[in-house]
Amino acid sequence: MALPQDGPWLDDAAGRLVRPYTVSGGRTRPTTALDLMSLVMSTGTQPLGYLGPEHSDVLGLCEAPTSVAEVAGQLRLPAVVTKVLLSDLVDCGALTTRAPDYFHHPTDRSLLEAVLDGLRRRF
C-alpha cells in the first residue's frame, strides 16, 4: 500500500512509477565519499536553485543525525542513488557529513549481544 507522503512516486499495483536512477539524473557516482553508516545532518542552509522533491525529502529526514542507510530506507531508493542525492546537498552546504565511528573492537561480545537482543525485540 502506498503511503500518503509517497504521492505519485509509488502505486499499489505498479510499485515505483519513477525509475530510481531518474531521481539522480542517471548519475551513479556521488561526489562525496559516503559509507552506509555515515551520518548526515541538515545545516539549516537552503540549497540555491531547484534540486528536486527528493532533495527536500532528504532535508526533512536529516534534521537530526541520520545514517545514509536510514535515509535510503526511508526514501525507498537504492543506496547509490541516495548517496548521489546526499552528495548534492553536501556540495551545496545544506548537509554536513560525519564518517562512522567504528568500534575499536567490532567483535566485542557485549556489543554483539546487545545487537542480538535488539533484533530479537524487534522481530
Residue 68 and residue 34 in contact, taking contact as beta carbons nearer than 8 Å: yes
d(CA 29, CA 71): 17
65, three cell numbers:
543525525
Which H or E run contains 75?
helix 68-75
Structure confidence by residue, pLDDT tens digits, 51-91: 888 888 999 999 999 999 999 999 988 888 899 999 999 99
Structure confidence by residue, pLDDT tens digits, 10-63: 545 544 445 555 666 667 688 888 988 899 999 988 888 778 888 889 999 999
User: What pTM was computed for the model?
Assistant: 0.65
DSSP code of residue 98: E
d(CA 25, CA 13): 25
Tell me phi and psi for residue 18, to 5 degrees: -110, 125
Cell match 529526514: residue? 61
What band does 4 get if pLDDT is binned at 50, 70 and 90?
A: very low
